[in-house]
Amino acid sequence: MTVQLANQPMRPLKRLATNSTTTCAIQATIYAKCVVATYTDVTKDICKDEFQLFRMCLRNALKSPR
């Protein structure tokens, strides 16, 4: 296991994975619940609002320097 030093920047993919499971966990859960609830009756943009919230959370989290 690699130890992340405080002064080293985190790699973008690792930041995405970390933020999608911690920082944006609530938004990810809301989006996932929408997908699971509607997967048998898929239509375009059915979970668009939930996805946009999740997307904006990830974008904001990845913008902030770490």
Query: Cα 44 vs. chain centroid, distance in angstroms?
Result: 20
- pTM value is 0.68
Q: Looking at residue 34, what is its pLDDT?
A: 96
Q: Which residue has the higher pLDDT, 56 or 1?
A: 56
The 10s digit of each residue's pLDDT in 15-58 is: 777 767 778 899 999 999 999 999 899 899 999 999 999 999 98
For the chain, helix, strand, coil in percent to 5 are 70, 0, 30
Cα-Cα-Cα-Cα torsion 15, 16, 19, 22, nearest 10 degrees, comes to -100
Q: How far apart are CA 50 and CA 32, in angstroms?
A: 9
Buried b (16+ CB within 10 A) or exposed e, 43-58: eeeebeebbebbeebb
Q: Looking at residue 27, what is its pLDDT?
A: 95
